[in-house]
Structure 1
């Protein structure tokens, strides 16, 4: 899979301008390196001469093609860190600028958190350690979901009065993008719309908007010395159903089987409505993953293998949304 063709990069002078705007002396930079794991924004690790660590994230060119819900994501990430800070170990916002005057991109300068992401370390996290960390993560996510908002949906796109209205709008926009980018879908868009609409009544069970990260796969969880030290990459956040969080927490799997996480979180009742909502959110996330390859220019054998894998799991989610036979 090739990298995102829309990613932006700053030269040394651009990084220096950002640091000056944030109140840091560029002469104090002891090291600056691009972090290769980023796939949407571009991230740089900056080390000052006193050992202070910073991370600079730079958004893609605002004129570049992208999915419609991806507009102004860095503003959402900044809001997420500031809002979630009482509940989660998130980076501190050192400086954020969306004027595009210092550099022609949105950017966010954050404090660096200790640790490496769980995805990189996963081969060394096994047995009791894994269970303990999953319980710890469950407790952290429960704290995040105690933060409530005034409306539902993506903050950068405007909030709705109900979760049904918000999520229906989110899926409609995504399916329009899927058509625009000729996404490799396993069934016609008309069938997808019908399945989403046919299960929308389950969304009415959600009456309180909570803060949802929506990208809590192990790559966005930092570990250090046997503890969770960071939750990062909050640009996909929205106000909505806490059950939506469970999709990325068990990507291509089932949170229902994660006893350690559920023990830390406090338990979830997986009744019919909850299961249908989980299937809706899984389908939504998998559709994003299939569609985003268009504007990002993903190609190659790795992309083909990813599409096959995602499509298989999307098919499972869609089957759970089919009407029950009489």
Structure 2
């Protein structure tokens, strides 16, 4: 099963026309295979390629925070343009986003030998620049912002725990126990006084590289305003903090908060598999991996 929404050339022409791009200037439309949530098309043009992202079918089951992600991604790019390498927004609607194509291919897809330590230092520096972008309040833009990070994060946890109940996903600990771990750290969370812009999905599949340099940070749809420590969950997915990344970032990372935010992401990964209809051996393998890391972080707290 897939939540992806697909358009034929006529539908694509209608959208690019709405965005002010003449269909006559387009050589071809190429659907990209990457991604499991949105549908992405490369619009090939002699004047420069564009990328078109479509949100899922409105009738598709999604997690509570996954409504309106196109608007959040638009906000992310507009807030960071000129500060870090991100696409420029050409036009945005409620369910689609047209943007410039960046050079490079995903770090994840590159098989050639890369200077990973140097790239990790470069990545750390870019993330530090990202976190200098700050906002007036905390939380997911599409959900509505609140005045404190502790309130925002508790609401984020409540949403994913509610999603687990709604989709019948068994958790390794009772929901109230997991919620209690957040409540017990209210003072620690309240210490976050500045709402930084957090990408929250910076794994190697969302980092573009060309000629040994990082050329783009993409897929900003999961962004929120919050604690910079939360960024290091996806930056070190299923792994540990590395010296190169921290050297580039230039600031320490609180391990207790990192474990708390890892619990949140692993809960999302565990729960989202049900509405997305994941199945088969690869899914079972990933599910076991996520569960193992979720339990480890719960135990650490």
1:174 equivalenced with 2:160 (yes/no): yes
Q: For the Cα contact (< 8 Å) 1:199–1:276, is it kept in 2?
A: no
271, 276, 289: which is aligned to 1:291? 271
Cα shift readout 1:202-260 (whole Å, capped 9, x = no counterpart): 211211100000000010000011110000000000000000000000001122xx111
Q: What is the alpha-carbon distance in structure 2 between the residues aligned to residue 165 and residue 155 of structure 1?
A: 14
* Structure 2: unaligned runs, 5 residues or longer: none
SS in 1 for 2:220: coil
79, 86, 90: which is aligned to 1:90? 86
Q: What is the alpha-carbon distance in structure 1 between the residues aligned to residue 92 and residue 116 of structure 2?
A: 35
| 1:211-290 matched pairs, under 5 angstroms | 211-255=197-241, 258-268=242-252, 270=253, 274-290=254-270
| 1:36-185 matched pairs, under 5 angstroms | 36-48=33-45, 50-98=46-94, 106-121=95-110, 123-126=111-114, 129-185=115-171
Q: Displacement of 1:296 after TM fit?
A: 0.9
236, 257, 280: which is aligned to 1:300? 280
Q: What is the alpha-carbon distance in structure 2 between the residues aligned to residue 313 and residue 124 of structure 1?
A: 29
SS in 1 for 2:142: helix
Q: What is the alpha-carbon distance in structure 2 between the residues aligned to residue 143 and residue 191 of structure 1?
A: 36
Q: Displacement of 1:302 after TM fit?
A: 1.2
Q: What is the alpha-carbon distance in structure 2 between the residues aligned to residue 95 and residue 287 of structure 1?
A: 33
> How large is the RMSD of aligned CA atoms in angstroms?
1.2
Counterpart in the other structure of 2:17: 20
Q: What is the alpha-carbon distance in structure 2 between the residues aligned to residue 196 and residue 314 of structure 1?
A: 15
Q: Displacement of 1:199 after TM fit?
A: 2.6
Q: What is the alpha-carbon distance in structure 2 between the residues aligned to residue 205 and residue 276 of structure 1?
A: 13
SS in 2 for 1:156: coil
Q: What is the alpha-carbon distance in structure 2 between the residues aligned to residue 288 and residue 228 of structure 1?
A: 27
Q: Displacement of 1:11 after TM fit?
A: 1.0
Q: Displacement of 1:132 after TM fit?
A: 1.0
210 and 125 in structure 1: CA distance in 2 versus 1, 3 angstrom threshold: farther
* Structure 1: unaligned runs, 5 residues or longer: 99-105, 322-326
Q: What is the alpha-carbon distance in structure 1 between the residues aligned to residue 59 and residue 8 of structure 2?
A: 20
Q: Displacement of 1:299 after TM fit?
A: 1.3
Moved over 4 A (4+): none
Q: Displacement of 1:51 after TM fit?
A: 4.5
Q: How many residues align?
A: 301
Counterpart in the other structure of 1:102: none
125 and 184 in structure 1: CA distance in 2 versus 1, 3 angstrom threshold: farther
Q: What is the alpha-carbon distance in structure 2 between the residues aligned to residue 259 and residue 25 of structure 1?
A: 48
Question: Could you tell me the TM-score, scaled by structure 1's length?
Answer: 0.90
Q: What is the alpha-carbon distance in structure 2 between the residues aligned to residue 82 and residue 109 of structure 1?
A: 13
Q: Displacement of 1:267 after TM fit?
A: 2.6
Q: For the Cα contact (< 8 Å) 1:152–1:238, is it kept in 2?
A: yes
Task: After superposing the two structures, state which structure 1 stretch, 189-198 or 220-229, moved more.
Answer: 189-198
Q: Displacement of 1:193 after TM fit?
A: 1.9
Cα shift readout 1:136-167 (whole Å, capped 9, x = no counterpart): 11111000101110000001111111000000
Question: Could you tell me the TM-score, scaled by structure 2's length?
Answer: 0.97
Q: What is the alpha-carbon distance in structure 1 between the residues aligned to residue 113 and residue 268 of structure 2?
A: 29
